[in-house]
Amino acid sequence: MDGSTVLRRKWFWPWQDEAEEAWLERLSSEEGLHLESVRFFNTYAFSRSGRLPYAYRLDYRRTSRKERETYRQLFRDAGWEHVGEMNGWQYFRKPVTPGESSEILTDRESKIEKYRRLSASYAFFCLFSMMFLARTITIGRGSPGNEPLIITWAALVLAFSVITFKIRSRIRRLRSGIRR
Amino acid sequence: MPTDKSISRYLPLTESTCCIMLALTLPLHGYGVMQRVEEVSGGEVRIGPGTLYGALQALEKEGLIVRAGEQDRRKSYVLTPVGREVLAAQIARLETIVKAGRSALGSA
């Protein structure tokens, strides 16, 4: 049925952007589900239609309000429609046309830059949660009952460290040219 | 007048950056750059909008290009005198390599 909104929830780690693109493209070509917007809690809103499939690309960029329109206009001029933004991830789509390039990042340097921006964000989140962990431990010394808080911050430190590490190893792979 | 050293610290330029700069010898907005690069390279070099956006920001920050205007959310840029020198130095560098390559391959 045309026009109806279909919601799907799916979790992707920040280093799985290519898997996310592939998933969106599969839904577009196989199920006729075309991304309309991204919402909180990893919820994707699709419209169902029999139209031709889209290619999807994710860029990572936190732009200022002023820069946002310039950034999106550049993509629009190149045929890419901005369909959503989530935690700095910019979702773009373009109808698939055989024989035409559908890359938003066309060289290795700019791909590396994208993951460097991403890893900088997570390194910052990691530092931020480390500060809170340290603060919770020092302030709550001797007072019982703050273990859950300590565990939460410690878990966040761990998660952000792993994410940062995974993104950095992605950058190393790109640099070494094993994977483009 | 910038010294040789201040020019050479920008070198070598990546292929994309080099092509963007040579498109910007005339003022152009982003999409104009993409079209011009594709045109002058005979379709050999294509620059995606993500790559272009990052390159324009970096080049502007380095003072190699400057904003030449803005219309309908589209900013246009043009090379600065320093940008022109950097581009000239890069082209000279490439010429040396091309020459060496031609003679090495026996097609000079």
Give residue B107's pLDDT: 65
ipTM of the complex as predicted:
0.90
- Residues B38-76 have pLDDT tens digits of 999 999 999 999 999 999 999 999 999 999 999 888 999
The share of chain B scoring above pLDDT 90, in percent, equals 85
Question: What was the pLDDT predicted at A58?
Answer: 98
Question: Nearest residue on chain A to B52, judged by CA atoms?
Answer: A105
Q: According to the model, what pLDDT value does residue A114 have? A: 98
- Chain A nearest-CA distance from B61, in A, is 14
CA B53 to mean position of chain CA atoms: 13
Alpha helices in B1-108 (DSSP H): 4-8, 15-23, 30-40, 49-61, 81-104
User: How would you class A148 by CB atoms within 10 Å of its CB: exposed for 0-12, middle for 13-18, buried for 19 or more?
Assistant: exposed
| Alpha-carbon gap: A27 to the closest alpha carbon of chain B (Å) | 24
Give the CA angle between residues B17, B22, B23 to the nearest 5°.
Answer: 100
What is residue A179's predicted lDDT score, i.e. its pLDDT? 47
Supply the pTM of this predicted model.
0.91
CA B86 to CA A50: how far, in whole Å? 51
Contact A57/B at CB under 8 A: yes
Model confidence at B94, pLDDT cuts 50, 70, 90, reads very high
Q: What is the mean pLDDT of residues B30-36?
A: 96
- Whose CA is closest to A90, among B75, B61, B54? B54
Instruction: Name the residue facing B48 among A72, A73, A106 (closest C-beta).
Output: A106
**What 3-state DSSP class applies to A3?**
coil
pLDDT at A170: 94
Where chain A has pLDDT below 70, the residues are: 1-3, 101, 142, 177-180
**CB spacing of A104 vs B48 below 8 angstroms:** yes
Whole-number pLDDT of residue A1: 47
The residues with which A8 forms a beta bridge, in sequence order, are: A44
Indicate which of B18, B57, B73, B74 best probes the interface with A, i.e. most A CBs within 10 Å of its own CB.
B73
Give whole-number Cα distances, A24 to A38, A92, A113, A121, A140, in Å. Answer: 12, 11, 23, 24, 46
Contact A103/B at CB under 8 A: yes
Return all residues near B2 (Cβ < 8 A) that are at least 6 apart.
B82, B85
User: Is 80 exceeded by the pLDDT of residue B3?
Assistant: no
Within 8 A of A104 by CB-CB distance, chain B residues are: 48-51
Mark yes or no for CB contact B50/A70 under 8 Å.
no
**A71 in B contact zone (CB under 8 Å):** yes
A97 touches chain B (CB under 8 A): no
Q: Of A77, A106, A114, which is closest to B31 when you measure between CB atoms?
A: A77
State residue A38's pLDDT score. 95
pLDDT at B85: 96
Region for B72 from its dihedrals, namely left if φ exceeds 0, alpha if ψ lies in -120 to 50, beta otherwise = left
* Model pLDDT for residues A104-118, shown as the tens digit of each residue: 999 999 999 999 999
pLDDT digit string, tens, across residues A139-153? 877 677 788 889 999
Query: Mean pLDDT for chain B?
Result: 93
